[in-house]
Chains A and B, each alone.
Chain A
Amino acid sequence: MADTSANGSPAATGGDAVTGGFEALSLVPKAVGRQSMKDFKSDQEVRWCPGCGDYAILAAVQGFLPELGLARENIVFVSGIGCSSRFPYYMNTYGMHSIHGRAPAIATGLAASRSDLSVWVVTGDGDALSIGGNHLIHALRRNVNLKILLFNNRIYGLTKGQYSPTSEVGKITKSTPMGSLDAPFNPLSLAIGAEAGFVARTVDSDRKHLTSVLREAAAHPGTALVEIYQNCNIFNDGAFDVIKDRARAEEAVIRLEHGQPVRFGADGRRGVVRDRATGDLRVVDVTPANEGDLLVHDAHAASPTTAFALSRLADPDTLHHTPIGVLRSVRRPVYDAQMNDQLDTAVRDRGEGDLAALLAGTDTWTVTG
């Protein structure tokens, strides 16, 4: 179903949604000839722990990029520090493995000065939400043309197992033998609060869903934040089992589809309605009486209110009622496009800069020899 609603961005669901076109990438040169997944694999040996969720994400990204048909040399992956941040080394594109937390800032400079590039940021829960929290929120509010993949494993892996800013309260780790005291961030709530135009969540092990979300993120003009639940099988194994286990996922996972009533559970027996008294969302058993009241997901709603409420549905401890999919996808002015416009306007109004005239200024005097 190709959505041609007000904001014109591709619809939130379905493999054919991309036929609406990748407007966000219209300035990026196209590849000559057909690409395959192999084209995006670098010659470097992948060195994550065996069984790490990062492998699945890497495979999904490498498998999906040929769809975009972009010239490989015009794709850049920028990362910070952490297990996930080794990602660029394994991509046969341009890449930078930068420093802890700063990837959004570095990528902003690159994307803002090179509109012919498709720039991706790969980061983790510690990198993006702890040391780099400031850069993340400012990238989102500015709406630079960046696609941010936030691998959330709710633990510090590379430093061997301390709690992270998304760990549940009371988590026992090497640095918190009596349990962690910090209340965690909800990355999607944070992103929506930071004025993000595109906010989505997906899961490492669901290749099809992950790919569909990547596809929509790529097509979104401006900053897209994709939270990917990723299993760290060494330091936080099974953190997302409730979402991955087919039986338990029935109760735990809410698959959002734009334009569809929000239902989940076996045979869609559960659903989400708006509480008339509080305006908040709550989960109900669907009955013929309340079926008409079910929330219809509108990813393109101008107001972030409902998307925010959806981001709060999940229980942070049990992960029950976790929405996955695109929570929010709205069009906002794109920073780098506007920056280019200002440069074009300046040239149109004042002409190409004349260095000699600039240096001379208006108040001069002449000394004759």
Chain B
Amino acid sequence: MTSQASRTAEQADETLLSEQRDPAGSKSVRRLDRVIIRFAGDSGDGMQLTGDRFTSETASFGNDLSTLPNFPAEIRAPAGTLPGVSSFQLHFADHDILTPGDAPNVLVAMNPAALKANIADLPRGAEIIVDTDEFTRRAVQKVGYQASPLEDGSLEGYSVHQVPLTTLTVEALKEFDLSRKEAERSKNMFALGLLSWMYHRPTEGTERFLKAKFAKRPQIAEANLAAFRAGWNFGETTEDFAVSYEIAPAVTAFPAGVYRNISGNLALSYGLVAASRQAGLPLFLGSYPITPASDILHELSRHKNFGVRTFQAEDEIAGVGAALGAAFGGALGVTTTSGPGVALKAETIGLAVSMELPLLVVDIQRGGPSTGLPTKTEQADLLQAMFGRNGEAPVPVVAPCTPADCFDAALEAARIALTYRTPVFLLSDGYLANGSEPWRIPDVAELPDLRVEFARERNHTLADGQEVFWPYKRDPRTLARPWAVPGTPGLEHRIGGIEKQDGSGEISYAPANHDFMVRTRQAKIDGIEVADLTVDDPDGARTLVLGWGSTYGPITAAVRRLRAAGEAVAQAHLRHLNPFPANLGDVLARYERVVVPEMNLGQLATLVRARYLVDVHSYNQVNGMPFKAEQLATALKEAIDG
């Protein structure tokens, strides 16, 4: 949730607002302002689904929220091992929040591996719910514990709930005609039911979801529902859970409107469909499956009734090639990929630069180099997007800053591509792609008008009076060339990757013409109109923190903490990495210190230093995870103190 309105500091710890005894019995209800829960288990335990469902319940309840799915690249890593642990963290609150939270207040650990892999992130006093059935001697030793952590006192500083989740689930399903193994698979729904009780979540959505998901297997649907309800009832009745928690809806954090929860990849997909509608052009996606971008291909393939064509190509090169071919034919051509795919597409993107056709290249960045960390996040493709082609081949770069913002960023990237007839990079990342947050559903009447005019008429008169079509005769304001699509009589022309004569577009190897064309293509990109950078600086700070992309949430949370502690710090966040906003140089000049936090080794910092000769301070992390607000706040404080 990106509302600038709220000034609530993102606290380091949850705050107890009130406590009430349940009038009917021994249970009490505490009101909290926010909670961070992490579900963790084997990659086959259904933790992502459990997290998704809890998130949906929380969204429909009206809390602000932010999520962090974290899973291994292997589909089914060896069971019970540390590398096989999959987790889903959810931060939800009665106010405006910006990150999935630094440290969980509650850990649900479905086995010893899940406990061991996550315990270091838990502050003392946190609640831990473990499935005791999985803490066998063998399973405990498999992950390197000498003795069971449930018995050796090592968890004394925590509030541990020992629940035989597996046994309880199997017991709850004994009336179903299921094998023990099948019944055990519903234990994640038992856990979801228990947590839903603990946090007073509405359950209708999950019941509806299970019925729909298993519509063709009613027995499985009923079994999962029974496990879900058994988990809820377990919380309601057992004495181990004496307290439940209420987190009120975040009423004041949100401007009025209709909201839904949305992930970055879904928002980006919708942004592409919306851009196609607003441009009046059919959407053509050429793509090759790659983590973490494939969900966009999956999503767009479901919307054929919007005229969306999705083409699963034989490789990354064909994906972008087909998109470019469709763009030549007058479609909104899009290719989606991650870093390794961008490397393969580089030559075709250069061709699009030379042919000056609109094309969207969506890069959901992941850890690199090479295969790197496919399921983890990173921001290390910025310089690849800027410079990863032969020759002088400038390409605009746009970056979303939150999951929901991927929708607007896709529209903005399309605006630039269509207006200036150029390929555009849209740089999202794994954290934005899989994370989710509430989104105020936009009124379609408010979406930008992206309509384009195809060339219809010959546009040039030769010396002998003959009317001809010149494919490289530019619009003097935008420097964009005319987009004449096949099927338009009289405008037949040939374009390609060889240098062409200014205006006529004929092959030209003339030295002066090449120099002119290189400079003109650069000038076209440099001249793209982008919004000025806005700076949030209520206190007249001397230090500016400048970010881009998915670091928006953690940076903003860190800035709020610092301001709550009385520090003055200014914040600005770049949506446009190429060209930079026209006022960026002036903004930088106003501050004594500029700190640039990035999930790379200083790529934006490199660009800013080169362009503005400002000695920015680069703060970096490349561990596959987003920054934590606390860590950033500490780093910024050090920078402020110089």
Output the least CB separation between B445 and chain A (Å). 9
Q: Is the CB of A106 within 8 A of B322?
A: yes
| Residue from A74, A99, A113, A134 within 8 A of B309 (CB atoms) | A113
B60 interface hit (Cβ, 8 Å)? yes
Q: Is the CB of B282 within 8 A of A102?
A: no
Q: Is the CB of A110 within 8 A of B309?
A: no
Output the least CB separation between B180 and chain A (Å). 34
Q: Is the CB of A108 within 8 A of B318?
A: yes
With a cutoff of 8 Å between Cβ atoms, the chain A residues found around residue B305 in the complex are 343, 346-347, 349-353
Q: Is the CB of B328 within 8 A of A366?
A: no
Q: Is the CB of A363 within 8 A of B59?
A: yes
CA distance A111 to B325 in the complex (A): 8
Q: Is the CB of B329 within 8 A of A117?
A: yes
CA distance A351 to B330 in the complex (A): 24
| Residue from A117, A342, A358 within 8 A of B486 (CB atoms) | A117
With a cutoff of 8 Å between Cβ atoms, the chain A residues found around residue B589 in the complex are none
A327 interface hit (Cβ, 8 Å)? no
Q: Is the CB of B321 within 8 A of A368?
A: no
CA distance A360 to B259 in the complex (A): 8
Q: Is the CB of A365 within 8 A of B351?
A: no
CA distance A349 to B304 in the complex (A): 11
- Tell me whether A367 and B259 are in contact in the complex, defined as CB-CB below 8 angstroms, given that A108-B325, A114-B486, A359-B444 are known contacts: yes
Q: Is the CB of B325 within 8 A of A110?
A: yes
Q: Is the CB of A105 within 8 A of B258?
A: no
Q: Is the CB of A368 within 8 A of B497?
A: no
Output the least CB separation between A4 and chain B (Å). 32
Output the least CB separation between A369 and chain B (Å). 3
- Tell me whether A109 and B495 are in contact in the complex, defined as CB-CB below 8 angstroms, given that A117-B487, A367-B62, A369-B255 are known contacts: no
A89-97, A159-167, A212-220, A294-302 - the one binding chain B = A89-97
B122-130, B188-196, B270-278 - the one binding chain A = B270-278
Q: Is the CB of A365 within 8 A of B258?
A: yes
Q: Is the CB of A109 within 8 A of B333?
A: yes
Q: Which of B284-318 contact A (CB under 8 A)?
A: 284, 286, 303-307, 309, 311, 313-315, 317-318
| Residue from A99, A111, A353, A359 within 8 A of B441 (CB atoms) | A359
CA distance A258 to B273 in the complex (A): 48
CA distance A369 to B305 in the complex (A): 35
Instruction: Report the nearest B residue to A349, measured CB to CB.
Output: B305
With a cutoff of 8 Å between Cβ atoms, the chain A residues found around residue B304 in the complex are 342-343, 345-347
Q: Is the CB of A105 within 8 A of B254?
A: no
A37 interface hit (Cβ, 8 Å)? no
- Tell me whether A97 and B498 are in contact in the complex, defined as CB-CB below 8 angstroms, given that A106-B324, A117-B487 are known contacts: yes
Output the least CB separation between B248 and chain A (Å). 13
Output the least CB separation between A54 and chain B (Å). 16
Q: Which of the four size classes fits the interface of chain B? A: 35 or more
A76 interface hit (Cβ, 8 Å)? yes
A72 interface hit (Cβ, 8 Å)? yes
B478-489, CB under 8 A of A: which get 1 and which 0? 000000001111
B492 interface hit (Cβ, 8 Å)? yes
- Tell me whether A364 and B258 are in contact in the complex, defined as CB-CB below 8 angstroms, given that A73-B490, A106-B324, A109-B286 are known contacts: yes
Q: Is the CB of A134 within 8 A of B314?
A: yes
| Residue from B255, B273, B493 within 8 A of A358 (CB atoms) | B273
Output the least CB separation between A223 and chain B (Å). 14
B326 interface hit (Cβ, 8 Å)? yes
B506 interface hit (Cβ, 8 Å)? yes
Output the least CB separation between B379 and chain A (Å). 28
Q: Is the CB of A116 within 8 A of B318?
A: no
B331 interface hit (Cβ, 8 Å)? yes
Output the least CB separation between A82 and chain B (Å). 13
Instruction: Report the nearest B residue to A31, measured CB to CB.
Output: B489
Output the least CB separation between A120 and chain B (Å). 12
A361 interface hit (Cβ, 8 Å)? yes
Interface of B is mostly: mixed
B437-452, CB under 8 A of A: which get 1 and which 0? 0000111100000000
Q: Is the CB of A96 within 8 A of B328?
A: yes
A44 interface hit (Cβ, 8 Å)? yes
A290 interface hit (Cβ, 8 Å)? no
Instruction: Report the nearest B residue to A345, measured CB to CB.
Output: B304
B215 interface hit (Cβ, 8 Å)? no
Q: Is the CB of B307 within 8 A of A112?
A: no
With a cutoff of 8 Å between Cβ atoms, the chain A residues found around residue B317 in the complex are 102, 105, 135
Output the least CB separation between A96 and chain B (Å). 6
Q: Is the CB of A73 within 8 A of B487?
A: yes
Q: Choose among A97, A343, A365 the residue with the greatest number of B CB atoms under 10 Å from its CB.
A: A365
Output the least CB separation between A115 and chain B (Å). 10
With a cutoff of 8 Å between Cβ atoms, the chain A residues found around residue B495 in the complex are 95-97
With a cutoff of 8 Å between Cβ atoms, the chain B residues found around residue A363 in the complex are 56, 59-60, 205, 260-261
Q: Is the CB of A369 within 8 A of B325?
A: no
| Residue from B274, B325, B488 within 8 A of A73 (CB atoms) | B488
Q: Choose among B282, B306, B442 the residue with the greatest number of A CB atoms under 10 Å from its CB.
A: B306
B323 interface hit (Cβ, 8 Å)? yes
With a cutoff of 8 Å between Cβ atoms, the chain B residues found around residue A106 in the complex are 321-322, 324-325, 328
With a cutoff of 8 Å between Cβ atoms, the chain A residues found around residue B78 in the complex are none
B257 interface hit (Cβ, 8 Å)? yes
With a cutoff of 8 Å between Cβ atoms, the chain A residues found around residue B311 in the complex are 108-109, 112
With a cutoff of 8 Å between Cβ atoms, the chain A residues found around residue B444 in the complex are 355-356, 359
Q: Is the CB of A99 within 8 A of B251?
A: no
Q: Is the CB of A88 within 8 A of B494?
A: yes
A36 interface hit (Cβ, 8 Å)? no
Q: Is the CB of A109 within 8 A of B284?
A: yes
Q: Is the CB of B496 within 8 A of A97?
A: yes
A339 interface hit (Cβ, 8 Å)? yes
CA distance A353 to B309 in the complex (A): 13
B75 interface hit (Cβ, 8 Å)? no
Q: Is the CB of B205 within 8 A of A112?
A: no
A98 interface hit (Cβ, 8 Å)? yes
A126-140, CB under 8 A of B: which get 1 and which 0? 000000001100100
Q: Choose among A44, A78, A359 the residue with the greatest number of B CB atoms under 10 Å from its CB.
A: A359
A107 interface hit (Cβ, 8 Å)? yes
Q: Is the CB of A367 within 8 A of B325?
A: no
With a cutoff of 8 Å between Cβ atoms, the chain B residues found around residue A260 in the complex are none
With a cutoff of 8 Å between Cβ atoms, the chain A residues found around residue B325 in the complex are 78, 96, 105-111, 113
B256 interface hit (Cβ, 8 Å)? yes
With a cutoff of 8 Å between Cβ atoms, the chain A residues found around residue B496 in the complex are 88-89, 96-98
Q: Is the CB of A73 within 8 A of B286?
A: no
CA distance A92 to B351 in the complex (A): 22
B507 interface hit (Cβ, 8 Å)? yes
Q: Is the CB of A134 within 8 A of B315?
A: yes
Output the least CB separation between B131 and chain A (Å). 29
CA distance A109 to B314 in the complex (A): 12
With a cutoff of 8 Å between Cβ atoms, the chain B residues found around residue A134 in the complex are 314-315, 318
Output the least CB separation between B253 and chain A (Å). 9
A19 interface hit (Cβ, 8 Å)? no
CA distance A129 to B254 in the complex (A): 58
Q: Is the CB of B314 within 8 A of A138?
A: yes
A42 interface hit (Cβ, 8 Å)? yes
A56 interface hit (Cβ, 8 Å)? no
A319-363, CB under 8 A of B: which get 1 and which 0? 000000000000000000001001101110111110110111101
What would 18 more interface pairs be, CB under 8 Å, given A95-B492, A363-B261?
A: A88-B494, A96-B495, A97-B498, A99-B350, A108-B325, A109-B321, A112-B322, A114-B486, A134-B315, A138-B314, A342-B304, A346-B305, A347-B305, A360-B260, A364-B60, A364-B441, A365-B258, A367-B257
Q: List 8 A-B contacts (CB under 8 A).
A: A44-B507, A94-B494, A95-B494, A97-B498, A109-B333, A113-B284, A346-B305, A366-B257
Binding site for A on B (CB under 8 A): 56, 59-62, 205, 251, 254-261, 270, 273-274, 277, 282, 284, 286, 303-307, 309, 311, 313-315, 317-318, 321-331, 333, 347-348, 350-351, 355, 441-444, 486-498, 506-507
The 10 closest A-B pairs by CB, nearest first: A97-B496, A109-B322, A109-B325, A353-B306, A105-B321, A369-B256, A346-B304, A105-B318, A106-B325, A110-B325
